[in-house]
Amino acid sequence: MARVYVKNDDKWVDVPDGSKLSALNGKCSILFACEEGVCGSCLSTIIEGAENLEPPSEKEKQTLEMFGAKPNQRLLCQTVIKGGEVKVEQ
Ligand code: FES
């Protein structure tokens, strides 16, 4: 089981290893809309633990570029956590 700290809510959420972080939907205040890497509503900053995430897919990279995202920002609905701990903030 992996753990995600959501700074906005000051809480930890457990998610299965290898899952997309859309698993946070409904368990924290981060907004998810399309869950397909298109709308940008889940764009968040990775505060710590980026090494525990799979790199972005081409599709995610395109959307990140479209929204002018910083290098430490990801679309959580497209981000896969390998395991361990990650800290995020929206
Ligand atoms: S929910 Fe739309 S891009 Fe993640």
pLDDT in tens, the chain (90 residues): 999 999 999 999 999 999 999 999 999 999 999 999 999 999 999 999 999 999 999 999 999 999 999 999 999 999 999 999 999 999
Phi, psi angle pair for 86, to nearest 5°: -140, 140
Q: Sign of dihedral through CA atoms 72, 9, 37, 1? A: positive
What atom in ligand 1 is closest to the CA of residue 37? 3
Residue 17 Cα to ligand 1 midpoint, Å, equals 20
User: Helix, strand or coil for residue 43?
Assistant: strand
Show me where the domains of the chain are located: 2-89
In angstroms, rounded to a whole number, what is the distance separating the alpha carbons of residues 42 and 32? 5
Closest C-alpha residue for ligand 1 atom 3: 37
Task: Give phi and psi for 76, each to the nearest 5.
Answer: -65, -30
CATH T-level topology, domain 2-89: Ubiquitin-like (UB roll) (3.10.20)
Nearest atom within ligand 1 for CA of residue 38:
3
pTM over 0.75: yes
Amino acid at 24: L
CB under 6 Å to ligand 1: residues?
A: 32-35, 37-42, 75, 77
The DSSP bridge pattern shows strands 2-6 and 73-75 to be unpaired
